[in-house]
Structure 1
Amino acid sequence: MSQKITPCLWFEDNAEEALEFYTSIFDDARVTSVSRYGEGGPFTAGTLLMGTLELAGQQFMVLNGGPHDAFNDAVSFYIECETQEEVDRYWDALLAGGGQPTQCGWLKDKFGVSWQVIPEALRRYMNDPDQEKAQRVMEAMLKMVKIDVPTLDAAYAGR
C-alpha cells in the first residue's frame, strides 16, 4: 500500500536540485518518479514539474510551481538520530550550500526548509519521570544550536 499522506514541497524553480540534494544526504533515499513540463507550460519544456522521493521510508513530493509562499518554521521535518555522529552528519549535510542553523537542533537548509536534527537521547531524557533530570536537560538544550549528546548526558546525570 502506498503512503496515504505525502508532504508536497513547493519550489519556485529548483525542485530538481532539491531532489538531488535530499537524496544525496540520506543513505536510504531514492527518487521514485518525475514528470516534466511540456511545450506551452509556465516553464521551459523538459523542466521538472513534479518529482517524488523517498527518504528513510517517508515519501515526499517536490513541485516546481513558480513564485509563491516561502517555506517557514510552521512545518519542519524531524530527524531522530541514534548517535552524535549521526546528528553531526545530518546537521552538516543539511547546512551545506547555504543553510542556516537556528536554535535547539533546528536549521533551515539552503532552500529554506526547516529541519529538526535531534538525538533520541533528548526525547528519552525529556520524558524521564524524574522531573529534575528532565528540567536539567531542557535547560542545557535551550542553550544549544546543534544538539550535543555529551552535554545532554552530563545534564541528565547532574554534572
Structure 2
Amino acid sequence: MAALETSLRPCLWFDDDAEEAMNFYVDLFPDSHIDAIVRYPDESLSEHFTGMAGKVLNGRFTLDGMQFVCLDGGPAFTFNEALSLTVSCADQAEIDRYWDALSAVPEAEQCGWCKDRYGLSWQILPAQLDRLMTGPAAVQALLGMQKIVIAELAAAGAAT
C-alpha cells in the first residue's frame, strides 16, 4: 500500500526516544518505514538545543501506509488518553499480536485500550466491533475486558 498522500500528519512528541519509537513501530506494522530523520544541530546554536545534540529534531515515518512526524522535545509534554491510535484487526490472532507488542501499562488497559512503553495510547479493536455490539449484554462484556476477546463478545451478544 502506498503512503496516504495528504497534508495532514499526526506529530508525536517524545521525551528523548523518538528514534527508538520509530524503529519499534515500523518493525511492528506492515508497510512501514522511516522516511527521514533530521537531528538537532550543535547545541551552541540555541539555548533550546541544550542536551539535544544528535536527538531527533524532525522524524518522518510511515506506519501501515499512514505518514507521521515526530520529535524529541524533552519532558515538557507527555501523551495522554485524549489522543489514541486505533488498530482495526481482522481476527483474534491479530488483536493478540498487537496487544502483546503494545500493551506496557496494565493499569491503563480497558475495553481494548492500552498504553505502550512510550506512553502513547492505542485502541486494539476487532474490525467487526460494530457488528459484535448487539445490545446491553455485549456492552457489559466489553466493559469487563482489558484486551478484547472476540469470542466472548460474540457469545454475550448471542445470549441477548
TM-score range, shorter chain: 0.7 to 0.9
In structure 2, the residue matched to 1:81 is 89
- CA drift at 1:25: 0.9
TM-score (norm 2): 0.87
Mapped partners of 1:59, 1:9: distance in 2: 11
Partner amino acid, structure 1, of 2:159: G
2:56 alignment partner, one of 32, 48, 51 = 48
2:112 alignment partner, one of 85, 97, 105 = 105
Q: For residues 98-128 of structure 1, give each alpha carbon's deviation from its aligned partner in whole angstroms, at most 9, with x where no partner exists.
A: 44351000000001100000012322223xx
Partner amino acid, structure 2, of 1:120: A
Report matched runs for 1:19-98 at 5 Å: 19-40=22-43, 41-95=49-103, 98=104
In structure 2, the residue matched to 1:140 is 141
What are the ranges of 5 or more consecutive residues in structure 1 without an aligned counterpart? Answer: 127-132
In structure 2, the residue matched to 1:123 is 130
TM-score (norm 1): 0.87
- CA drift at 1:56: 1.4
Partner amino acid, structure 2, of 1:7: P
- CA drift at 1:44: 4.6
- CA drift at 1:42: 2.8
Partner amino acid, structure 1, of 2:135: A
1:2 alignment partner, one of 1, 5, 18 = 5
| Paired residue secondary structure (2:61) | strand
What are the ranges of 5 or more consecutive residues in structure 2 without an aligned counterpart? Answer: 44-48
Identity over the aligned pairs, expressed in percent? 43
Q: For residues 30-72 of structure 1, give each alpha carbon's deviation from its aligned partner in whole angstroms, at most 9, with x where no partner exists.
A: 1111111111233453322121111112111111111212111
